[in-house]
């Protein structure tokens, strides 16, 4: 758990980050979103003390980070930046081993961890471990950057626009990978982005930042249904907020028990349980159906889904 308390950074008389207090739950993803110059990167960099706060405190798992030498603190915290920051003169394996070496791990432990991470990020160790970064594609470099950040088994991972340099298709893939990695390693992640879609996609909670202040830090759905501020409403998307809301719930969660009657009057539309309600609605509209059947990947029917039930989800949650 990360607790930020009254965190402030002043340069001269202007406060770039102004008395920010938020709590990040263990094993959750908090996305800090804001326009450029909102102070979101500075806020992130105060967590691992790359920027020293002017005032306020940061606790990680109950320990005040100010009590520890900054470089030792940073070795316990994973850090991923835009454009990956891989060392061009070191191989993929050497890059991944950076922090474990600083911590003095044994060679065998480092080698095992490197293999485990590269495999988890779908990079064949036999093929890539001894390559230099310039021989890799942008997407592969980004994955090595994530592997490097996770190498020393940090409980906290800080990510500063980690997918900013990737094209939209690679970015979607990288986002999926991140969710998979989080499920596997169970890490508390704080992620800075200017992309509200990315925030909705990844964040368990989203903190909207402007002029150095947190306007709202809440569950994604709450940002849409109860925006604390016109700016938040604007950023979250006034025009398509209903559709955004639908994309936060899966068909499996919204499925109702199959009603006994009338199931055979319409053609049956099968909806995957892990599809979002937005995707389910789109599919039903396209096929001209008013309801579908939600099925699990193994083919068992979980329930039914009616268009009017989906629409109801788009008004609240």
Nearer to another protein, 185 or 231 (CB): 185
Strand partners, 160: 81, 192
Find the shortest distance in angstroms from Cβ 78 to another protein. Answer: 9
Nearer to another protein, 102 or 263 (CB): 102
36 is written with which tokens? 């450029």
Nearer to another protein, 150 or 178 (CB): 150
CA distance 276 to 303: 15
Nearer to another protein, 29 or 158 (CB): 158
* R_g of the chain, CA atoms, integer Å: 22
CA distance 246 to 255: 13
CA distance 303 to 252: 8
Report whether 25 contacts 3 (CB < 8 A): no
Dihedrals φ, ψ of 47, to 5°? -70, -40
Find the shortest distance in angstroms from Cβ 76 to another protein. Answer: 8
CA distance 184 to 120: 9
Binding site for another protein (CB under 8 A): 48, 50, 70-77, 79, 81-89, 98-99, 102, 132, 134, 148-149, 158
Find the shortest distance in angstroms from Cβ 58 to another protein. Answer: 15
What separation in angstroms does the CA of 41 have from each of 88, 167, 262? Answer: 24, 21, 55
Nearer to another protein, 90 or 272 (CB): 90
Tokens 């699990």 belong to residue: 296
Find the shortest distance in angstroms from Cβ 302 to another protein. Answer: 44
CA distance 226 to 217: 11
Nearer to another protein, 43 or 206 (CB): 43
Find the shortest distance in angstroms from Cβ 50 to another protein. Answer: 6
Nearer to another protein, 148 or 210 (CB): 148
Nearer to another protein, 2 or 149 (CB): 149
Find the shortest distance in angstroms from Cβ 134 to another protein. Answer: 5
Find the shortest distance in angstroms from Cβ 57 to another protein. Answer: 17
Nearest to 49 by CA among 210, 134, 141, 158: 158
Report whether 46 contacts 24 (CB < 8 A): no
Nearest to 21 by CA among 306, 213, 276: 213
Instruction: Count Cα neighbours of 197 within 13 Å in the Cβ-side half-sphere.
Output: 8
Find the shortest distance in angstroms from Cβ 144 to another protein. Answer: 12
Q: Where are the alpha helices (DSSP H) in 151-290?
A: 168-185, 196-202, 220-225, 230-236, 241-246, 251-254, 277-287
Nearer to another protein, 155 or 219 (CB): 155
Find the shortest distance in angstroms from Cβ 126 to another protein. Answer: 20
CA distance 24 to 183: 17
């Amino acid at each position: 758990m990360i607790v930020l308390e009254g965190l402030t950074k002043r340069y001269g008389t202007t406060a770039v980050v102004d008395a920010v207090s938020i709590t990040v739950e263990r094993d959750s993803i908090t996305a800090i979103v804001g326009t450029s110059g909102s102070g979101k990167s500075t806020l992130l960099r105060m967590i691992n003390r790359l920027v020293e706060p002017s005032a306020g405190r940061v606790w990680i798992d109950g320990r005040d980070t100010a009590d520890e030498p900054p470089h030792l603190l940073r070795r316990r915290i994973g850090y991923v930046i835009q454009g990956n920051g891989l060392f061009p003169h070191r191989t993929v394996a050497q890059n991944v081993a950076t922090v474990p070496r600083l911590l003095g791990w044994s060679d065998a432990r480092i080698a095992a961890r490197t293999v485990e991470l590269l495999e988890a990020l779908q990079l064949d160790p036999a093929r890539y471990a001894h390559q230099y970064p310039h021989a890799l594609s942008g997407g592969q470099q980004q994955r090595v950057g994530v592997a490097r950040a996770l190498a020393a088994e940090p409980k906290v991972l800080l990510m500063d626009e980690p997918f900013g340099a990737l094209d939209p298709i690679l970015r979607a893939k990288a986002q999926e990978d991140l969710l998979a990695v989080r499920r596997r390693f169970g890490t508390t992640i704080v992620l800075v982005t200017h992309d509200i879609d990315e925030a909705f996609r990844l964040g368990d909670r989203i903190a909207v930042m402007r002029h150095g202040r947190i306007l709202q830090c809440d569950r994604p759905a709450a940002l849409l249904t109860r925006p604390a501020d016109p700016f938040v409403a604007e950023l979250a998307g006034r025009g398509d907020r209903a559709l955004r809301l639908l994309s936060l719930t899966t068909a499996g969660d919204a499925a109702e028990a199959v009603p006994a009657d009338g199931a055979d009057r319409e053609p049956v539309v099968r909806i995957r349980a892990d599809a979002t309600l937005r995707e389910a609605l789109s599919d039903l509209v396209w096929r001209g159906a008013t309801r579908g059947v939600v099925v699990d990947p193994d083919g068992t029917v979980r329930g039914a889904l009616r268009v009017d039930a989906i629409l109801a989800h788009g008004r609240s949650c």
